Amino acid sequence: MNFNYNTLEVTLNKDTRSINVALNRPEEKNTINIEMLFELESLFGWLTSHLEVNAVVLTGVGEVFCQGFDQNELKIMSEEKFQKYIVRFQKIVMGMLSLPQTIICDLKDGAGGMGIELALGADIRIARSTATVNFNTLKTGWVPCCGGISLLSQWVGASSARFWTLTSARVGSEEMLNKGLIGKSYSTSEDALSPILKEIAAQAPVPRIQAKRSFLEGMMSELTRGLEYETVFAFAAMKTEDWKKDVSDEKECFASARDLARELKKAVRPEPILS
């Protein structure tokens, strides 16, 4: 099978019946653009019907996994287009939880923003001992909305999820390991993936798939409800168009809470009744 993608580097490992998917925009720190979104949709769609693949390794070309969305693309998006973009990304993250393969995300030296939310869709996460994950979504002008609240709370607990998000924390490998965000920390000279893939390959396929489904079923109702609220509050905050602003420019400033209130009133103001 040949995978012809522009933003993904895809290779097969016949020995372990696994597939390696690397986000391939290293010059942009593997930020997610529209083309990558479409290609991830295509690849994950292919995986749904290829049960012979045991595992998927999701990582990035270069030193980091992914530093979020491509800000240059976001700046020219309308609110409506951004909302549709988010909904598609939500389906990718949640779809990863439902895929029959065991998904391992290698964060390498780190991730940020929506890159973290993409990683949350994996069953297993690993990272280098030097890794740092930057919970900077609020600094980029929008609300975590693709599992960045609900899924993160499932993996690390509500207290840590709240603290990391609301303080825009930079979290190192040791803390991620202690809190359960990653299952393994490894040195740069260590091959951390091969032993994991060999163990997965040795598992009975049907029990493996059913075990993954059982884990998902146990948290599905709470996750569905949480994602619904994430979407509501994220879409409301989009009225300010803060995601378009250049946070490195000192002249730019985010909208105030009063600005949002005025925008929301405009959005729900009834049309005048004609006499």
pLDDT band at 244 (very low <50, low <70, confident <90, very high): confident
Residue 186 falls within a domain, yes or no? yes
Q: Is residue 174 part of a domain?
A: yes
Give the span between the Cα atoms of 157 and 210, in whole angstroms: 25
229 assigned to some structural domain? no
248 falls in which pLDDT band (50, 70, 90)?
A: low
Residue 247 lies in a domain: no
Is 261 a residue whose pLDDT tops 50? yes
Which residue carries 């800000």 as its tokens? 71
Q: Centre a 10 Å sphere on the Cβ of residue 20 and count the other Cβ atoms it contains.
A: 18
pLDDT tens for residues 92-148?
999 999 999 999 999 999 999 999 999 999 999 999 999 999 999 999 888 999 999
Check residue 1 and give its pLDDT.
62
CA 154/CA 11 separation, integer angstroms: 31
Q: Is 214 domain-assigned?
A: no
User: Does the pLDDT of residue 258 top 60, yes or no?
Assistant: yes
154: domain range?
Answer: 8-207
Q: Which of 12, 11, 18, 10 is nearest to 202 (CA)?
A: 18
Amino acid at 126: I
Over residues 172-185, mean pLDDT:
97
Over range 10-33, report the average pLDDT: 96
Query: Domain containing 63 — which CATH number?
Result: 3.90.226.10
Q: Count structural domains, the chain.
A: 1
- 118 part of a folded domain: yes
Q: Using CA atoms, how far apart are residues 11 and 37, in angstroms rounded to an integer? A: 19
**How far lies 178's CA from each of 56, 157, 189, 190, 193, in Å?**
24, 12, 22, 20, 20
CA separation, residue 203 to residues 14, 111, 212, 252 (Å): 15, 30, 13, 54
pLDDT in tens, 29-40: 999 999 999 999
Kindly state whether residue 190 falls inside one of the protein's structural domains.
yes
- Whether 185 maps to a domain, the answer reads yes
